[in-house]
Amino acid sequence: MLCREHNLAAKPIVGRFAPTPSGFLHLGNVFCSLLAWLYAKSNGGKIILRIEDLDPQRCTRQKADQLARDLEWLGLIWDEGAYVSRDSEHYFQSQRSDIYAQYFAQLQEQGLIYPCFCSRAELHAAEAPHLSDGRIVYSGTCRDLTKEEREAKALKRAPAYRLQVEDTPISFTDGHYGQQSFNLAEESGDFIVRRSDGVFAYQLAVTIDDALMGITQVVRGCDLLSSTPMQLYIYRLLGFTPPSFCHIPLLVDATGRRLSKRDGDLEIAALRKIYGSPEPIIGFLAYLAGQIDKPEPLCVSDLLPLFAASKIPQQNIVVPEIKF
């Protein structure tokens, strides 16, 4: 695979798994964590656990604690990060706002950030085109407001802050899906880097964290493929070297819907109770990832020498009825 070859010649691999603790860990998250872990460890790299608990309304420390316990139970051991390193708190995004603020200020100094006063309803009603997946392309309504207009609007509403994008393609080679090219002006428009409640947005935080934590290889679900050009743009603006990116297929149900926190029966906590040991779950996921011919119990260390990234399917993977 491209991203493996890439890094063998370059720096040692540093991967990461970066879950958002907004609910319980489910099979889809575990699939992603397992593959990120295998990609890094099978190439002699290390892997970091970072908790993306930026959103205080959705994320709690209790959920993060449970998530870490479940990952440990599955046999995924992290070289560094939350719950592992001495400075564990450093790997929780909720503790890193001061760092994000510094880089946010750097982008402001470059004149690329502006306040946006549009409400959600206004955004949906606006003439901005909606992409097929429901995302809105921001048409730039607040980009050219005068100082007076901004001051008047700020009296009524706290603004979000957007980063101005360029109308040129951003290209990269994904380790699993190959050559990609996105024009942010057409795909997202100027995007939010700080929400109106002051919380820094995922795109900014994840880029800063991956850069400062020395991540060289990002392995994550293909739902985030379209986020990559936004992050590459921020890497460039802040003068950081980007990692390689490798997106992997998602686990979906029979109707093609992504497995999510709604699928309570696929939560690891529930599966833990039913099956009592992680091997059936790891073996089942290894089978879904194309690594073994039939689901059979396996522990993570058995799977490691077998791992071949080239066997991972390209299409999203339908999870058959679960029989461990």
User: What distance separates the 2 farthest-apart alpha carbons in the chain?
Assistant: 66
**Quick check: 267 binds ligand GLU (CB under 6 A)?**
no
The sign of the dihedral angle between the CA atoms of 82, 85, 88, 90 is negative
Q: SS in 3 state form for 66-108?
A: HHHHHHHHHCCCCCEECCCCCCHHHHEHHHCHHHHHHHHHHHH
Stretch of residues binding ligand GLU (CB under 6 A), selected from 12-20, 113-121, 187-195, 232-240: 12-20
| CB nearer to ligand GLU: pick between 63 and 220 | 220
**Quick check: 281 binds ligand GLU (CB under 6 A)?**
no
Query: How many whole angstroms separate alpha carbon 37 and alpha carbon 238?
Result: 28
Stretch of residues binding ligand GLU (CB under 6 A), selected from 15-23, 109-117, 134-142, 307-315: 15-23
Q: Tell me the per-residue interface mask from 209 to 228 with ligand GLU, x by CB under 6 A, - otherwise.
A: -----------x---x----
| CB nearer to ligand GLU: pick between 52 and 267 | 52
Residues 221-260 that bind ligand GLU (CB under 6 A): 224
Residue 178's beta-bridge partner residues? 174
CB of 121 to ligand GLU, least distance (A): 26
**Quick check: 206 binds ligand GLU (CB under 6 A)?**
yes
Which of 3, 14, 18, 312 touches ligand GLU by CB under 6 A?
18
Written as one letter, the residue type at 318 is V
Q: Which two tokens stand for residue 173?
A: 């080679």
Query: How many whole angstroms separate alpha carbon 64 and alpha carbon 53?
Result: 8
Give Cβ neighbours of residue 157 (< 8 Å, ≥ 6 apart).
Answer: 117, 119, 196
| CB nearer to ligand GLU: pick between 18 and 142 | 18
Which residue, among 18, 15, 34, 7, has the nearest Cα to 202 in the 3D structure? 18
Query: How many whole angstroms separate alpha carbon 256 and alpha carbon 263?
Result: 13
Stretch of residues binding ligand GLU (CB under 6 A), selected from 16-24, 123-131, 152-160, 262-270: 16-24
| CB nearer to ligand GLU: pick between 52 and 80 | 52
> Is-contact 269 66, C-beta < 8 A?
yes
Q: Tell me the per-residue interface mask from 39 to 78 with ligand GLU, x by CB under 6 A, - otherwise.
A: -------------x--------------------------
Which of 3, 13, 19, 205 touches ligand GLU by CB under 6 A?
19
> Is-contact 133 151, C-beta < 8 A?
no
Binding site for ligand GLU (CB under 6 A): 18-20, 52, 206, 220, 224
